[in-house]
Amino acid sequence: MSDIHQVNDLISIEVDGDIALICIDNPPVNATGQAVRQGLYDAVARLASEGGVKAIAIYGAGRTFVAGADIKEFGKPPQPPALPDVYNRIEASEIPVVAIMHGTALGGGFELGLAAHARVGIEGLRVGLPEVALGLLPGAGGTQRLPRLSGIPFALDMCLSGRHVPAQEALEAGAIDRLEAGEPRDVAIRAAQDAAAGTLKTRRTCDLTVTPDDDALERTAEKLRKTQALLFAPHKIVECIRTATKTPLSEGLQFEREAFMECMDTPQRAGLIHAFFGERAVSNIPEAKGEARPIDKVGIIGGGTMGSGIATSCLLAGLPVRLIEVAQEGLDRGVATITGNIDGAVKRGKLPADKRDATLAMLEPSLAMEDLADVDLVVEAVFEDMGVKTEIFGKLDTICKPGAIMASNTSYLDVNEIAAATSRPADVLGLHFFSPAHVMRLLEIVVADKTAPDVVATGFALAKRLKKVGVRAGVCDGFIGNRILSHYGKEAAYLVLDGATPQQVDAALEGFGFAMGPHKVGDLAGLDIGWATRKRKAGTRDPNERYSGAVADRICEEGWFGRKTGKGYYIYEGKDIRPNPDVARIIEEEREKAGITPREFTDQDIVDRYMTAMISEAARVVEDGIAKRPLDVDMVLLFGYGFPRFRGGPLHYADTIGAAELVRRIETYAKEDAHYWQVPDILRRMAEDGTTFADMDKGA
Ligand code: 3HC
């Protein structure tokens, strides 16, 4: 090949005889930021004006083809040239252009392929249009060109699921034309030669027509109205694809562009992009980046739901597990639960069926704690009792090899006290998993006073290995998540005591975006758990605190613990769920006892009070340093507590309300209950100086 001409820092051209290669080199994922867009546009224009070239192949340097538009540019003033204009220029090119895609061709990356005149995939390629996960739609021709190449059902599936489609499936669907092996540059040379010789067929996607499929469009639109009523982008995607069937490409692209800009302006887009970067930023702290200790074998103490879930998670990540229980019956139950979990993973396609037996073979059940002598990490997952835990850690201290890490899965107990039961507190930390532990992605990495830096780094490395979102938390009752939950959970109870029904509270919060309201969640988790906690804390409860557990206690006294007993706030009969009428009676009696005259709350009142309570405690968690940054709190609530992802997390949502308004609300509510409603200092300062939680994230 000839010399390389740099069009700019990120785009280069190589010409050899009658073929040319354009290389995109913008690590780490070749996102189409301004310089890439400009460079691509200029490269194609330059090759056209210079003449002599019969075919162009565009490929990406590094580990992947283009993974999409540069998400960091979203929300800022757009810088020309716009991506659709660049791709229209490529599609209009008189010289045929072939896209050579490897790694993950996503969003604007796959759309570059769709605008080219032929698409060659390299083995291992996955293509996707994941914009919907960012509150967007494919905005550089995806909704218009993909239906022309692959038909409407496939385009609907790709745009609405955002899934990464394997190359073979893309080939069969007509979304790519060839699948080859080799290095991107070598494949690019061959493809350009073939295109020049006419042995690789090239054509403009805009010249193809779409086969109409009104049924598929209507069915999908109807389903989305039911399942994704609160989201904006999915419905717009259907409209865009519908337009593709009815108009020439240029008009469809215009429609898509306008819909894309509408999505860009929604708070949902901002919330979802906060979630995208937040998920990555949680481990972007010095403590997570230090050297980790090697973990080749894990010991788990306790074969209950949590211990079995943690064991399953480790096994699925290829980590051998030694499971310890005190009695054979418990051990058998643990093994049975893990086996069921692994079978479930096979059913859900998370584990290939032929790996099932080998995965289970990595599980070694044992009744002897001494068998933990050779493991690198122990996770204790027994019930929440400080006496039991300290006894276990004292024993572990005598059994575990030097350098082994000892972790507790406690959800609120003092990890410093647990660590003090050993002679090596530097090796102790909290690893707080969420149930079901092999499904839920959150892992709170609880750092105690004496936890060694490499032990913290190992916690983060483990989270990554288990494909979890590891968030650093400090020691306090409930760490980040359960501390905040215990505060806003009280507000749900106060709302009911003061006049709302549990169903109204649930419906209002489901309308806000939670998959389930707090009373349904309570029924699912088991009302006896909260009951036990309230009893445990009865002796230390602040006398100024308004008691929130009166109704829930009465329900539990009846033996109604929620779903597992068929009755709780609701009655469960098969698929039928209806409010428990006896709960309405209990609520009335408790109101009478407390001298409360019930009042009306609108759904908005309920959301405002519940969210303000959540934000208040979340702000205090940041203020106390239990969470290092607001984004850490947001990711805990998103990945562990069902907070609606499109709202970004409680503190991202708080910024959309503004600190001044939040302070005003708290001060208003405080007139009724000055103990519960206190303005966090951090929020007052923010209201005074006009700053946001996002500013704090940026400064961290
Ligand atoms: N823009 C800007 N930065 C991006 C990016 C993008 N599209 N995609 C990834 N990055 C960054 C990540 O933030 C991360 O940065 P960091 O190292 O500073 O934390 C780095 O690239 C590496 O990313 P990952 O840690 O996620 O690496 P993985 O190898 O695990 O995953 C990936 C790679 C599958 C490409 C994944 O990053 C991904 O899914 N990216 C987003 C893809 C996407 O959503 N594309 C659509 C964008 S919207 C669009 O194209 C609009 C268009 O239609 C007009």
Q: pLDDT band for 87, please (50, 70, 90 cuts).
A: very high
Number of the ligand 1 atom closest to the C-alpha atom of 111: 53
Number of the ligand 1 atom closest to the C-alpha atom of 83: 54
Ligand 1: residue whose CA is nearest its atom 45: 68
Instruction: Quote the mean pLDDT of the chain.
Output: 96
Q: Report the CATH number of the 482-699 domain.
A: 1.10.1040.50
Instruction: Give the separation between CA 651 and CA 695, rounded to whole angstroms.
Output: 11
Smallest CA-to-CA distance from 83 within 149, 148, 143, 34 is with 34
Number of the ligand 1 atom closest to the C-alpha atom of 137: 53
Cα-to-centroid distance, 106 and ligand 1 (Å): 9
Ligand 1: residue whose CA is nearest its atom 10: 29
Q: How far is CA 501 from CA 507, 559, 571, 585, in A?
A: 10, 21, 15, 11
Q: pLDDT band for 533, please (50, 70, 90 cuts).
A: confident
Beta strands in 217-320 (DSSP E): 298-301
Instruction: Give the separation between CA 547 and CA 190, rounded to whole angstroms.
Output: 74
| Span 348-355, average pLDDT | 94
- pLDDT of res. 525: 87
Ligand 1 pocket member 83 (CB < 6 A): yes
Ligand 1: residue whose CA is nearest its atom 54: 139
Ligand 1: residue whose CA is nearest its atom 28: 29
Q: Tokens for 40?
A: 């691509």
Total count of residues recorded for the chain: 700
Q: Report the CATH number of the 3-264 domain.
A: 3.90.226.10
The active-site residue, picked from 14, 91, 131, 279, is: 131
Smallest CA-to-CA distance from 221 within 206, 236, 203, 243 is with 236
- pLDDT of res. 2: 66
Ligand 1 pocket member 309 (CB < 6 A): no
Instruction: Give the separation between CA 456 and CA 476, rounded to whole angstroms.
Output: 17
Contact between 606 and 477 under an 8 Å Cβ cutoff? The reply is: no
Ligand 1 pocket member 279 (CB < 6 A): no
Instruction: Give the separation between CA 672 and CA 612, rounded to whole angstroms.
Output: 15
| pLDDT, tens only, 111-145 | 999 999 999 999 999 999 999 999 999 999 999 99
Q: Is the C-alpha dihedral spanning 430, 435, 439, 440 positive or negative?
A: negative
Do 296-477 and 482-699 agree at the fold level? no
- pLDDT of res. 600: 97
Instruction: Give the separation between CA 296 and CA 298, rounded to whole angstroms.
Output: 7
Number of the ligand 1 atom closest to the C-alpha atom of 72: 2
Count other Cβ atoms within 10 Å, centred on residue 76. 7
Beta bridge partners of 106: 128
Cα-to-centroid distance, 132 and ligand 1 (Å): 14
Ligand 1 pocket member 68 (CB < 6 A): yes
Q: Which CATH number fits domain 296-477: 3.40.50.2300, 3.40.50.720, 3.30.200.20, 3.40.50.2000?
A: 3.40.50.720
Ligand 1 pocket member 108 (CB < 6 A): yes
Residue 328 C-beta-side C-alpha neighbours within 13 Å: 0
Number of the ligand 1 atom closest to the C-alpha atom of 74: 48
Cα-to-centroid distance, 175 and ligand 1 (Å): 22
DSSP class per residue in 470-512: EEEE-SSTTTTHHHHHHHHHHHHHHHHHHT--HHHHHHHHHHH
Smallest CA-to-CA distance from 406 within 536, 550, 288, 298 is with 298
Smallest CA-to-CA distance from 385 within 393, 396, 395 is with 393
Place of tokens 């990945």: 639
Ligand 1: residue whose CA is nearest its atom 26: 280
Contact between 191 and 100 under an 8 Å Cβ cutoff? The reply is: yes
Ligand 1: residue whose CA is nearest its atom 32: 67
Cα-to-centroid distance, 271 and ligand 1 (Å): 16
Ligand 1 pocket member 649 (CB < 6 A): no
Q: Tokens for 106?
A: 């996503």
Cα-to-centroid distance, 67 and ligand 1 (Å): 6
Run of H or E residues at 680 = none
Ligand 1 pocket member 29 (CB < 6 A): yes
Cα-to-centroid distance, 29 and ligand 1 (Å): 7
29 has pLDDT over 70: yes
Contacts with 121 (C-beta within 8 Å, 6 or more apart), sequence order: 101, 102, 105, 127, 167, 170, 171, 176, 178, 179, 180
- pLDDT of res. 536: 86
Smallest CA-to-CA distance from 93 within 48, 147, 156, 139 is with 48
Sheet holding 126-128, edge to edge: 104-106, 126-128, 165-166
The active-site residue, picked from 14, 73, 94, 111, is: 111
Ligand 1 pocket member 132 (CB < 6 A): no
Cα-to-centroid distance, 62 and ligand 1 (Å): 14
CA angle at 331 for the pair 330 and 333, rounded to the nearest 5°? 65
Q: pLDDT band for 104, please (50, 70, 90 cuts).
A: very high
Choose one of 71, 85, 236 to mutate for the ligand 1 pocket test, by most ligand atoms within 8 angstroms of C-beta: 71
- pLDDT of res. 1: 61
Ligand 1 pocket member 107 (CB < 6 A): yes
Choose one of 29, 40, 164, 236 to mutate for the ligand 1 pocket test, by most ligand atoms within 8 angstroms of C-beta: 29
- pLDDT of res. 610: 98
Kindly give the pairing relationship between strand 126-128 and strand 321-324: unpaired
Ligand 1 pocket member 134 (CB < 6 A): yes
Report CA dihedral (57, 63, 65, 68) to the nearest 10 degrees: -160
357 has pLDDT over 90: yes
Ligand 1 pocket member 28 (CB < 6 A): yes
| Span 251-268, average pLDDT | 97
| pLDDT, tens only, 407-447 | 999 999 999 999 999 999 999 999 999 989 999 999 999 99
Cα-to-centroid distance, 131 and ligand 1 (Å): 11
- pLDDT of res. 26: 98
In the chain, what are the domain boundaries? 3-264, 296-477, 482-699
Instruction: Give the separation between CA 34 and CA 85, rounded to whole angstroms.
Output: 12
Number of the ligand 1 atom closest to the C-alpha atom of 260: 54
| Span 566-594, average pLDDT | 96
Q: What is the largest CA-CA distance in the chain?
A: 92
Contacts with 378 (C-beta within 8 Å, 6 or more apart), sequence order: 298, 299, 300, 301, 372, 396, 400, 404, 405, 406, 407
- pLDDT of res. 487: 96
- pLDDT of res. 169: 98
Cα-to-centroid distance, 71 and ligand 1 (Å): 7
| Annotated catalytic residue 131 | yes
Cα-to-centroid distance, 637 and ligand 1 (Å): 22
Which of 244-253, 527-536, 607-616, 666-675 is predicted with the least confidence, judged by mean pLDDT?
527-536
Ligand 1 pocket member 263 (CB < 6 A): no
Cα-to-centroid distance, 136 and ligand 1 (Å): 14
3 has pLDDT over 80: no
- pLDDT of res. 548: 96
| pLDDT, tens only, 286-316 | 999 999 999 999 999 999 999 999 999 999 9
| Annotated catalytic residue 444 | no
Count other Cβ atoms within 10 Å, centred on residue 689. 9
| pLDDT, tens only, 181-215 | 999 999 999 999 999 999 999 999 999 999 999 99
Number of the ligand 1 atom closest to the C-alpha atom of 108: 50
